[in-house]
Amino acid sequence: MDSAKRILHVDMDAFFASVEQLDDPSLRGKPVIVGKGDRGVVSAASYEARVYGVRSAMPVVQARKLCPQGIFVGGRMSRYAEVSRQVMAVLGEFSPLVEQASVDEAYVDITGTRTLFGPPRKLAEALQARVREATGLSCSVGVAPVKFLAKIASDFRKPSGVTIIEPEDVAAFLQDLPVGKIPGVGGKTLPRLAQLGVRTCGEVLRYSRQFWEEHLGEWGRVLHQRAQGLGSAELTPHSEMKSSSAENTFAKDVSDEEELKRWLLRQSERVGRDLRKHGLQGRTVTLKLKFEDFKHITRSRTLAEPIDTDLEIFRTACDLLDQTERRKRIRLIGVGVSNFGGGSAQLSLMPDENRERLKRLDKAVDSIRDRHGRSLIKRGKLFEGDQ
């Protein structure tokens, strides 16, 4: 019986754009780009758009220049999350050990599943078929002895590809693999490696671990290990939620305090609702600001008691904003709540007798919005004008 470790990585193909093409058949076969606004960035691009050089994280303005005929659409995170849940449910049919890495990718431990599903390639193809049956979408799959290699493999034959790296083939696979394919090797590290004449994983091993530690510190040790195919094969099936946050980038830089607080209220409602949905309360509220010169700062406050009410989150965020020196206009504002497990306290802004009333109010608002949509009910005159 084959007991060698087998980690499968699933990566949905152009996920956000593919969902848009799935829901609107008129978009199929066309260059669809998820991202709008002159200040926005591309969240996803269909393969038809990628032909023109459009990539995720690219400024929308640049994407328009590369692909003027592109169809630009706004993102629908709730819809993407819905499809993501369907995908994860399918993965659970093949193994109880599933680690979701993001909304569109996950690791699956398929060690010991040969008796049930056959060899890795047969399982991978069966999994792809089930994902397509359940969602109408395609995915690419990589299988390897460790997680980082499985992730690299899943990107090899996109879209709809399957790449298997057997344990005995790891060294040969890595020998000529561009070092930039290793997760974590990015724009800062690549030039340094090129200066040393290192462009492939095989060339990394020309030098000792000590050499890499001297040049790159702890990351040098990791790089040397990964060039040998060494890495983690342990999955964390249930990743606990560490924080909840919401942020917005403005179309034009903002200095008006009332407008900033109007956005903070909207974001506080989103965060509060998310906390209540997951049955969580947090004690640390964090304000995030990015200025017109792209400098960003965060300011946090830890409260005496955990909170999940919109108004308490909002008041704390406003207090942090009031205490923050702002000589430049604001490009982005956001608020988050964390510290679900406790910690040292500073102060609380809300008397206990008011908290239960706020909880009842939030619960009622959540119920109305669940039934009739978010736009039906708004809080106070801070929301005068359009959201």
Q: What is the pLDDT of residue 387?
A: 38
Are 336 and 244 spatial neighbours (Cβ–Cβ below 8 Å)? yes
Extended beta strands in the chain, E state: 7-12, 32-34, 44-45, 71-73, 98-102, 105-109, 139-144, 162-164, 243-254, 282-291, 296-307, 330-338
Q: Would you give the DSSP letter of residue 50?
A: H
CB atoms within 10 A of CB 101: 16
Q: How many CA atoms does the CB half-sphere of 237 hold within 13 Å? A: 9
One digit per residue, pLDDT tens: the chain, 387 residues? 466 899 999 999 999 999 999 999 999 999 999 998 888 899 999 999 999 999 999 999 999 999 999 999 998 888 898 899 899 999 999 999 999 999 999 999 999 999 999 999 999 999 999 999 999 999 999 999 999 999 999 999 999 999 999 999 999 999 999 999 998 888 888 999 999 999 999 999 999 999 999 999 999 999 999 999 999 999 988 656 678 888 887 878 999 999 999 999 999 998 998 888 888 899 999 999 999 988 889 999 999 889 999 999 999 999 999 999 998 999 999 999 998 864 443 444 445 557 667 767 667 766 665 555 554 455 554 444 333
Alpha-carbon distance values, 183 to 148, 150, 153, 382 (Å): 7, 11, 12, 44
Q: What is the pLDDT of residue 384?
A: 42
What is the domain partition of the chain in residue ranges?
A: 1-165, 171-227, 243-383
Q: How many CA atoms does the CB half-sphere of 250 hold within 13 Å? A: 21
Out of 3.40.50.280, 3.60.20.10, 1.10.150.20, 3.40.630.30, which CATH number does the structure's domain 171-227 have?
Answer: 1.10.150.20
Please give the CATH number for the structural domain made up of 1-165: 3.30.70.270
Q: Which residues are catalytic?
A: 105
| 62-114 pLDDT per residue, tens | 999 999 999 999 988 888 988 998 999 999 999 999 999 999 999 999 999 99
Q: What is the pLDDT of residue 304?
A: 86
- Name the 3-class secondary structure at 285: strand
CATH topology of domain 243-383: Dna Ligase; domain 1 (3.30.1490)
